[in-house]
Amino acid sequence: MTLPRLKRSTLGDDVYDSLRAAVLEHTLAPGDRVNIDALARDLEVSPTPVREALARLESEGLVRKRPLAGYTVSPLLTRAEFNDMFDMRLLLECAAARWAAERATPEQRGTLVTEAARTVEGGDEHAWHAAFTALDAHVHDLVAQASASPLLRESITRLHAHLHLHRRYFPYAQTAVTNDEHQLLAAAISDHDPDRAESAMREHLIHARARHLVAFDE
């Protein structure tokens, strides 16, 4: 296994980003045992930032730590777990969209419209995948933040939905559709229209579920 060498000055974040990308792209495959010393040598760092990065990945559900066994890469979502996660997203994120339309500040509405219209350009496939995953999660987090409910936002964040979905399957051919759906959602929130915002989020999640469900038929 070869991981990219680190270039930025923020070493801890670099190690985390590299390991996170390795898990998302299956360079570290589901079920693999994680050898901290080997990763440290590959990344040319000490074991300390590797351990810190693994602790962050564990909090996101991407790796698991077991007593005396160390870290292993978490298995992919099962179909039942996938459906359960989307059922929760429909409950939580539709409410977040409605409340965002009612409660968001003018600045939050403007930021959401801007970010929903942003696209990811250039870069190699792995970097593009990571950037799109981050942007997708960011747009949804902006909606949750604009709901003005910290508890609701925390509940949505704890699902780590985008990491688990894009790790299982990434619908490269349909990213433009995702962007369009984000923009419809942002427009409804910007227009102070809670019914339209809730409906836009529901339609987006229903379509996203269908886009990712094909992974279980392969």
Fold: same for 11-73 and 79-216: no
Residue 129 confidence class, pLDDT cut points 50, 70, 90: confident
SS3 content of the chain, % helix, strand, coil (to 5): 70, 5, 25
CA distance 195 to 50: 46
Whether residue 160 is predicted with pLDDT greater than 70 in this model: the reply is yes
Nearest alpha-carbon partner for 25 in 121, 120, 122, 133: 133
Domains of the chain, residue spans = 11-73, 79-216
| pLDDT tens-digit readout, 161-180 | 888 887 877 777 788 899 99
Whether residue 123 is predicted with pLDDT greater than 90 in this model: the reply is no
Token pair of 205 as six digits: 């999640």
Q: What percent of the chain has pLDDT over 70?
A: 94
Residue 182 confidence class, pLDDT cut points 50, 70, 90: very high
| pLDDT tens-digit readout, 11-66 | 888 899 899 888 988 889 999 999 999 999 999 999 999 999 999 999 988 999 98
CATH class of 11-73: mainly alpha
Q: What backbone torsions phi and psi does residue 73 show, to the nearest 5 degrees? A: -75, 130
CA distance 156 to 58: 17
Q: 79-216, what's its fold?
A: Four Helix Bundle (Hemerythrin (Met), subunit A) (1.20.120)
CA distance 22 to 91: 31
For 126, the 3-state DSSP assignment is helix
Q: What percent of the chain has pLDDT over 90?
A: 66
